[in-house]
């Protein structure tokens, strides 16, 4: 789907989309269409349940006087309540409705509205972003799909009086969408295609956008003492990697202290010797979504030339059972020097993050460190698919993260870290074990384990197990499948608080 910006005119083909405010008050462009069609638009809007509430839609067969196929009325609600999130939803909702209708082209007319908190330019940019995010589809392996089952919308024109300003406001958002799409693509790929070395190649491609890449193979990780990470990969025929991405966009140079993002990149999680039941195991292809988010975020930051230094570190590993696999009860020594008794080989994500977090803080001394991981099934039991679990040692970082999440519609809910839970990961024979007390507070004990690998640095852990993959269409801008959760959130955090 191609998105373009143009001046406002009355389209002569496809669908024309215009806004209607609360209580069926027509926007200026809806009024114009109403006049052209002898009152047909206001008559249709007065009928039935359509009241102009936020994101209500009503399709009208093009009335006489218009040569387009149809007019789509979209509710704007109360003008003073309009915000960016709503405009993104509007763009996504319209794309969904157009594809359902089988439309090939459409124009959305964006008027400047009196008393609206957003300018027409801002509205146009947010609508375009929402439209693009909704248009995502991973279809590279569908070779026999019938044309009538495919999305139909080819072109969307956003009409706005200040065309150039709208296109300019959209440009950085388009780069963020590129990052979301990279993340969704990586997560959607099956694990026979996206083994660790394959993701390393995708990461190397970010060099084109100006990202510096460094790759640690098993030999280098062994030399650094990363036996916690290496133990997880030792049952796999595929080599494990730690990939480091650096974007140096700070105006005062590469030695400016960076912010850091760390991702769990389990390209497949069988559970290892503590093997998972087979029902639903195919879902564990998305167990690299934390890494997928970090990679997509680095692409977004580089794409829009964010004015700060950022590092992304991802541990890429495959968790397999085999004759060389790690056994329950094995003890490994992490890069930090702390020893870990591996009670359950299915609690592998924390073992990878232990070394990735330690390496990141020791090497880069970042301003903050945020990790993302599909870490526990327990967080899905707690929060479902509407919010990710947030754990942090820093209240200010927490507040900023929650705020950024609300702004982009990627919500976070803080869960506790506390000494009371920390005790649960003590081991009888090593410094700690990789599980807590049975199933109690499973997401919390996982976070406590991670905290043992974090020093003084402000740190947050996002457990995205419930957010990375949607079994059905989720919101207007997140179709079913890989969500790309976290790219927009962290891009926003950086843009609001850490850019020069
Ligand atoms: N990757 C899983 C967590 C997960 C579950 C992600 C469902 C997405 C959907 C993780 O490695 C895991 O297996 N966690 C175990 C931990 C347990 C063994 C302490 C879990 O949640 O059951
Ligand atoms: Mn697991
Ligand atoms: Zn896992």
The DSSP secondary structure of 100-124, one letter per residue, reads HHT-SEEEEE----TT-SS-HHHHH
Segments in 423-472 forming alpha helices (H): 442-451
CA nearest to 102, candidates 154, 49, 63, 54? 154
Pairing of strands 2-6, 155-159: parallel
Ligand 2 is an ion; its neighbours by CB within 5 Å are: 269, 346, 348
Take atom 14 of ligand 1 and give the residue whose Cα is closest. Answer: 376
Q: HSE of 363 in the Cβ direction (CA atoms, 13 Å)?
A: 17
Reported as a pLDDT band with limits 50, 70 and 90, residue 148 is confident
Q: Is the CB of 111 under 6 A from ligand 1?
A: no
Q: What is the CATH number of domain 2-161?
A: 3.40.220.10
Q: Which atom of ligand 1 is least distant from the CA of 276?
A: 13
With 0-12 CB in 10 A as exposed, 13-18 as middle and 19+ as buried, what is 83? Answer: middle
Q: What is the pLDDT of residues 358-416, one digit of tens each?
A: 999 999 999 999 999 999 999 999 999 999 999 999 999 999 999 999 999 999 999 99
Pairing of strands 432-433, 339-342: parallel
> Cα separation of 165 and 121, whole Å?
6
Q: Which of 229, 275, 347, 381 to mutate to test the pocket of ligand 1 (most atoms within 8 A of CB)?
A: 347
> Cα separation of 209 and 207, whole Å?
5
Q: Which atom of ligand 1 is least distant from the CA of 376?
A: 21
> Cα separation of 323 and 331, whole Å?
17
Ligand closest to the CA atom of residue 342: 1
Does pLDDT of 48 surpass 90?
no
Region 482-492 average pLDDT? 99
* Six-digit token string for 118: 């957003």
Name the pTM for this structure.
0.98
Q: How far is the CA of 349 from the centre of ligand 1 (A)?
A: 8
Q: Which atom of ligand 1 is least distant from the CA of 442?
A: 19
Q: What is the pLDDT of residues 315-369, one digit of tens each?
A: 999 999 999 999 999 999 999 999 999 999 999 999 999 999 999 999 999 999 9
Region 114-136 average pLDDT? 98
* Six-digit token string for 249: 């966009």
Q: How far is the CA of 346 from the centre of ligand 2 (A)?
A: 4
Does pLDDT of 47 surpass 90?
no
Beta partners for 245? 213, 312
What Rg, from alpha-carbon coordinates, does the chain have?
25
Q: Which of 284, 287, 374, 377 to mutate to test the pocket of ligand 1 (most atoms within 8 A of CB)?
A: 377
Q: Is the CB of 435 under 6 A from ligand 1?
A: yes
Reported as a pLDDT band with limits 50, 70 and 90, residue 40 is very high
Ligand closest to the CA atom of residue 376: 1
Reported as a pLDDT band with limits 50, 70 and 90, residue 45 is very high
Q: What is the pLDDT of residue 378?
A: 98
Output phi, psi for 244, to 5 deg.
-120, 125
276 is catalytic: yes
Does pLDDT of 63 surpass 90?
no
Q: What is the pLDDT of residues 290-314, one digit of tens each?
A: 999 999 999 999 999 999 999 999 9
Please give the CATH superfamily to which domain 175-497 belongs.
Answer: Zn peptidases (3.40.630.10)
Q: Is the CB of 374 under 6 A from ligand 1?
A: yes
Q: Is the CB of 346 under 6 A from ligand 1?
A: yes
Q: What is the pLDDT of residues 200-222, one digit of tens each?
A: 999 999 999 999 999 999 999 99
Q: How far is the CA of 233 from the centre of ligand 3 (A)?
A: 12
Number of H helices, E strands in the chain: 15, 20
Q: How far is the CA of 375 from the centre of ligand 3 (A)?
A: 6
Q: Spell out the domain ranges in the chain.
A: 2-161, 175-497
Does pLDDT of 149 surpass 90?
no
Q: Is the CB of 287 under 6 A from ligand 1?
A: yes
Take atom 13 of ligand 1 and give the residue whose Cα is closest. Answer: 346
Catalytic site residue from 350, 367, 433, 492: 350
Catalytic site residue from 276, 307, 365, 414: 276
Q: What is the pLDDT of residue 467?
A: 99
Q: How far is the CA of 439 from the centre of ligand 2 (A)?
A: 14
Take atom 5 of ligand 1 and give the residue whose Cα is closest. Answer: 377
> Cα separation of 340 and 333, whole Å?
6
Ligand 3 is an ion; its neighbours by CB within 5 Å are: 266, 269, 287, 349
Reported as a pLDDT band with limits 50, 70 and 90, residue 147 is confident
Q: How far is the CA of 190 from the centre of ligand 1 (A)?
A: 19
Q: What is the pLDDT of residue 58?
A: 97
Q: What is the pLDDT of residue 21?
A: 98
Reported as a pLDDT band with limits 50, 70 and 90, residue 37 is very high
Q: What is the pLDDT of residue 254?
A: 84
Q: How far is the CA of 70 from the centre of ligand 3 (A)?
A: 48
């Amino acid at each position: 789907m191609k998105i373009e910006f143009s001046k406002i005119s009355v389209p002569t083909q496809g669908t024309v989309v215009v806004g209607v405010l609360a209580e069926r008050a027509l926007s200026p462009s809806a009024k114009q269409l109403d006049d052209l069609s002898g009152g047909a638009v206001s008559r249709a809007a007065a009928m039935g349940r359509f009241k102009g509430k936020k994101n209500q839609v009503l399709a009208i067969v093009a009335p006489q006087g218009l040569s387009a196929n149809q007019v789509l009325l979209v509710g704007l609600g109360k003008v003073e309540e309009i915000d960016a999130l709503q405009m993104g939803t509007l763009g996504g909702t319209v794309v969904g409705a157009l594809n359902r209708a089988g439309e090939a082209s459409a124009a959305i007319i964006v008027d400047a509205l009196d008393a609206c908190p957003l300018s027409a330019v801002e509205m146009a940019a947010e609508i375009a972003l929402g439209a693009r995010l909704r248009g995502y589809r991973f279809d590279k392996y569908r070779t026999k799909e019938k044309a009538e089952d495919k999305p139909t919308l080819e072109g969307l024109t956003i009409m706005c009086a200040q065309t150039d300003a709208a296109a300019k406001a959209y440009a950085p958002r388009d780069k963020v969408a590129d990052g979301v799409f990279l993340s969704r693509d990586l997560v959607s790929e099956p694990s026979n295609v996206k083994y660790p070395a394959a993701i390393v190649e995708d990461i190397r491609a970010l060099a084109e956008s100006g990202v510096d890449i460094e790759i640690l193979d098993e030999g280098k990780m062994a030399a650094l003492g990363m036996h916690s990470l290496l133990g997880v990969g030792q049952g796999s025929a595929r080599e494990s990697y730690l990939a480091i991405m650096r974007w140096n966009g700070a105006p005062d140079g590469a030695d400016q202290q960076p912010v850091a993002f760390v991702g769990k990149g389990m390209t497949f999680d069988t559970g290892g010797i503590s093997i998972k039941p087979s029902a639903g195991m195919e879902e564990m292809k998305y167990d690299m979504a934390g890494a997928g988010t970090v990679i997509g975020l680095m692409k977004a930051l580089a794409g829009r030339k964010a004015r700060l230094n950022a590092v992304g570190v991802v541990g890429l590993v495959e968790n397999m059972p085999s004759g060389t696999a790690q056994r329950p009860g094995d003890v490994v020594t992490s890069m930090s020097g702390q020893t870990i008794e591996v009670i359950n080989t299915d609690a592998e994500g924390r073992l990878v993050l232990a070394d990735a977090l330690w390496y990141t803080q020791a090497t880069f001394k970042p301003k903050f460190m945020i990790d993302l991981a599909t870490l526990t099934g327990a967080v899905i039991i707690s929060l479902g698919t509407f919010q990710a679990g947030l754990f942090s040692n820093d209240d200010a970082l927490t507040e900023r993260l929650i705020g950024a999440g609300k702004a982009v519609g990627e919500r976070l809910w803080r869960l506790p870290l506390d000494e009371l839970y920390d005790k649960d990961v003590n081991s009888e024979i090593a410094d700690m074990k990789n599980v807590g007390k049975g199933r109690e507070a499973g997401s919390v004990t996982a976070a406590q384990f991670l905290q043992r690998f974090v020093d003084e640095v402000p740190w947050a852990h996002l457990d995205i197990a419930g957010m990375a993959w949607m079994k059905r269409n989720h919101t207007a801008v997140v179709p079913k499948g890989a969500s790309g959760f976290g790219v927009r959130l962290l891009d926003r955090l950086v843009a609001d608080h850490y850019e020069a």
